[in-house]
C-alpha cells in the first residue's frame, strides 16, 4: 500500500487534480468543506457496489456508476452517455480495500449456496452462473486493477481526465494512487 497518498489538506492533492472536479471530490469527502450548489454534474464516479462505502458529495455533483469492484468494462455505454450528454470530462475511478471481487473463486461455494437458499435456484444452475460470470468480474488486486482500468479508460477516452483512487474502509477516506511514471 506504499502507493497510497493521503489527502488531509488541499496542499496534499496531486498537481494534475488541482482545479479539477477531483480536487472538489477530495475537498467534499475528505476535507468536509461545505457543499456548493451544483446544477450539472462535474464528474463521473465509477465505484464498487459494496455497501460499506458512501461518498460525501452534494446532490447533482456526479454521475455515480456502481458495479462489482468498480469494474466499468460492462458499463462503457453509461460512461459514454455521461460524457456525451452530461458534458462531463472527468472520471474518478475508485477501488477499495477488502473488495469481494478479489479472489472470486474462493467464494464459489458461498455464492452457489446463497443462490440455492435465497433465490430458489438449483445447485447446477447456480454453479453454471458462477462459472460463466466470475471470470468477467474477478478484479485481482484492487490497486493493480484500478490502475489498469484507468489506463484502459484513458485509451478509450483520451480527452477525459481519469483519476484512479482508493477508498480505505478503516477510515472511510479517499487516497490518491501514485502511478508508475509519476
At residue 117, the pLDDT reads 97
Kindly tell me if the per-residue pLDDT of 34 is higher than 80. yes
First to last CA, the chain: 16
The structural domains of the chain, with segments of one domain joined by +, span 4-100+141-177, 103-138
45 versus 136: the higher-pLDDT residue is 45
Kindly tell me if the per-residue pLDDT of 160 is higher than 80. yes
163 versus 181: the higher-pLDDT residue is 163
Kindly tell me if the per-residue pLDDT of 106 is higher than 70. yes
- How much is the average pLDDT of 155-169? 97
Kindly tell me if the per-residue pLDDT of 182 is higher than 90. no
At residue 155, the pLDDT reads 97
- How far is Cα 62 from Cα 59, in angstroms, rounded to an integer? 8
Q: What is the homologous superfamily of the domain 4-100+141-177 according to CATH? A: Carbonic anhydrase (3.40.1050.10)
What are 50-78's pLDDT values in tens digits? 998 999 999 999 999 999 888 998 899 99
Helix extents (H) in 92-170 = 108-119, 123-137, 142-156
Amino acid at each position: 500500500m506504499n502507493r497510497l497518498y493521503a489527502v488531509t489538506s488541499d496542499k496534499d492533492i496531486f498537481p494534475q487534480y488541482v482545479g479539477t472536479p477531483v480536487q472538489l471530490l477530495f475537498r467534499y469527502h475528505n476535507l468536509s468543506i461545505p457543499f456548493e450548489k451544483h446544477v450539472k454534474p462535474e464528474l463521473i464516479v465509477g465505484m464498487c457496489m459494496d455497501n460499506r462505502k458512501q461518498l460525501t458529495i452534494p446532490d447533482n455533483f456526479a454521475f455515480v456508476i456502481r458495479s462489482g469492484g468498480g469494474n466499468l468494462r460492462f458499463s462503457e455505454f453509461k460512461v459514454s452517455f455521461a460524457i456525451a450528454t452530461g458534458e462531463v470530462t472527468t472520471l474518478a475511478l475508485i477501488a477499495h480495500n477488502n473488495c469481494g471481487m478479489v479472489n472470486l473463486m474462493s467464494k464459489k461455494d458461498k455464492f452457489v449456496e446463497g443462490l440455492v437458499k435465497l433465490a430458489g435456484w438449483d445447485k447446477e444452475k447456480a454453479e453454471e452462473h458462477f462459472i460463466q460470470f466470475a471470470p468477467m468480474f474477478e478484479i485481482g488486486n484492487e490497486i493493480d486493477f484500478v490502475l489498469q482500468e484507468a489506463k484502459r479508460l484513458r485509451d478509450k477516452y483520451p480527452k477525459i481526465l481519469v483519476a484512479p483512487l482508493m477508498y480505505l474502509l478503516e477510515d472511510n477516506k479517499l487516497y490518491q494512487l501514485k502511478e508508475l511514471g509519476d
